[in-house]
């Protein structure tokens, strides 16, 4: 089983959205039993709290239920427990690289590194913007980006691991 961890700041907007969307698309593609997902934050601001209500509403409107998720902070064990740790922005990625313990085995990357159409000029993925201080459009944009990133990631994982995808991810 491949294990993926999505990381943002407080684990109440971007990373739980990515976790939920990734699980939803993996299940639809017939990969639910072959991959697992979790999410965490670089900070402990919201540990134990559910995702932001705006995040939950926007995701539910697309058929993704985030209501059971609870925020947690990235732990040292995550760096060996997960195969891939995906940061929502470059700040998170830099922080993850700083706190990675010796012997870390997880691949650290930006979440959108595999999202077609969302690769920056230096070959790295674009960042997923934080919707927390904005309006509803920001949460919709995060969902769009999480869908693109999850499709790209599942496609890459399928190619690398020879997972059989039953349904088109496009």
Active site residues: 8, 14, 130
CA dist 80 and 111 (Å) reads 18
Q: What is the DSSP string of the chain?
A: -EEEEEEESSSSSHHHHHHHHHHHHHHHTT-TTTEEEEEEESS-TTTTPPPPHHHHHHHHTTT---TT----B--TTHHHH-SEEEESSHHHHHHHHHHPPTT--SEEEEGGGG-TT-B-TTSSBPP----TTS-HHHHHHHHHHHHHHHHHHHHHHHHHHT----S---
Q: Give the tokens for residue 150.
A: 């999850």
């Amino acid at each position: 089983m491949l294990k993926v961890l999505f990381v943002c700041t407080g684990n109440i907007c971007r990373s739980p959205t990515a976790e939920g969307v990734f699980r939803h698309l993996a299940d639809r593609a017939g990969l639910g039993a072959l991959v697992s997902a979790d999410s965490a934050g670089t900070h402990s601001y919201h540990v134990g709290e559910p995702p932001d209500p705006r995040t939950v509403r926007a995701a539910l409107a697309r058929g993704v239920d985030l209501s059971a998720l609870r925020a947690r902070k990235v732990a040292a064990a995550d760096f060996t427990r997960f195969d891939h740790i995906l940061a929502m922005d470059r700040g998170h990625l830099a922080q993850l690289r700083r706190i990675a313990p010796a012997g870390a085995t997880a691949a650290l990357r930006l979440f959108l590194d595999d999202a077609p159409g969302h690769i920056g000029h230096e070959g790295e993925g674009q960042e997923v913007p934080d919707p927390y201080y904005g309006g509803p459009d920001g949460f919709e944009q995060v969902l769009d980006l999480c869908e693109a990133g999850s499709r790209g990631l599942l496609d890459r994982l399928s190619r690398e691991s020879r997972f059989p995808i039953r349904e088109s991810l496009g």
